[in-house]
Structure formats: C-alpha cells, structure tokens
Amino acid sequence: MEAALNQIYSNTANIILCGDFNINYLNDNQNKQALNSLLTSYNLCSIIDFPTRIHNNSNTLIDNISINKLTNENYSIYPLINGLSDHDAQVLSLSDITAPDNRIELYFYGEISTHSLNEFQTNLSYVTWENVFSDVDPDTTFNNFLNTFLRTFNASFPKKSTKL
C-alpha cells in the first residue's frame, strides 16, 4: 500500500482510500496502529466509526474509508445495509468538492449518402444468409441475422467522429 500511495501522493491530490482492510478498527491492535501510522504520513485519517460487518454475535469494523480531513472538512459518513453481502456499505458524502471537467465530448455519426446507400445494398446482396437459417431457435436466428446485418451496415457506413 505504501508503494501505491507513494506513486499517487502529491500536495494537491485529494486521495480517498477505501476498502476491506481486514483490520478490526473496533479493537486496538498492532495492525491498526501500523496502518494508521502509514495513513497519517500521507495526511489520511480513517473516518468510519461504526461496525461494517455484523455476523452472528460478532461486530467488526474491517471496511474503512480514509480521507484528508484538512482538505475535506465538510463530510458525512453513514452505513448502508444493502442485504447483498455480509459487509455493509459505507456512504461518504463530501461537500464543497469540485472536480475539473477535462472530458472531450465526441460525437459519432455514420455518413449516409447515395453512394454509401448503393454500396450497402450491393454488400447486402452478396451476403450468404445460411448462418441465419441454420438454427431452429428463433433467438439464435434473430441474433445471427442482426449480427450479419450490422456488420454489413457498419462496413458501408463507417463511423466518423467530431468534437462537440
């Protein structure tokens, strides 16, 4: 974990570390102290303070989230009992946090012209449809038809992209 934190850590990075650490934070132990020491060296602090795994008569806090409390002062955390696992989920809500939007939106389109329509019709005329009718299952037949049709369509109307 130290190697991974070393690689991503910077003064400007807002690191949120979460996972099943298999270290019970409800009890004081050497593993907890060692992990806390490591996290503190990267300005991270464990914020879960409720059991995350309740099984029969035992409660443990082995799933955890660590954040930098200095840069994330306004946060809330609560358990989410989802019934899908023997571990409960944790929900972290951060206020006053913004993420830069560096996405470039691309628009994909297929150019349809008289020439490409003629090419599509010609390509369809050369298709052997044996694989479509070679099965008695209607779902398989339809999927074979659709795959063959779309392959021909995509070859005749190649996708182009442009930035929005």
Is 138 a member of any domain? yes
Is 99 a member of any domain? no
Where does the pLDDT of residue 128 fall: very low under 50, low under 70, confident under 90, or very high at 90 and above? confident
**Amino acid residing at 32:** K
pLDDT tens readout for residues 56-80: 888 999 999 999 988 888 899 999 9
Residues 84, 118, single domain; the answer is no
Is 100 a member of any domain? no
CA distance 63 to 84: 15
Domain extent, residue 89, equals: 2-94
Mean pLDDT of the 1-20 span: 89
Number of domains in the chain: 2
Residues 55, 87, single domain; the answer is yes
Highest mean pLDDT among 22-26, 106-110, 158-162: 22-26
Please give the C-alpha separations between residue 95 and each of 9, 13, 75, 90, in angstroms, as whole numbers: 22, 17, 6, 16
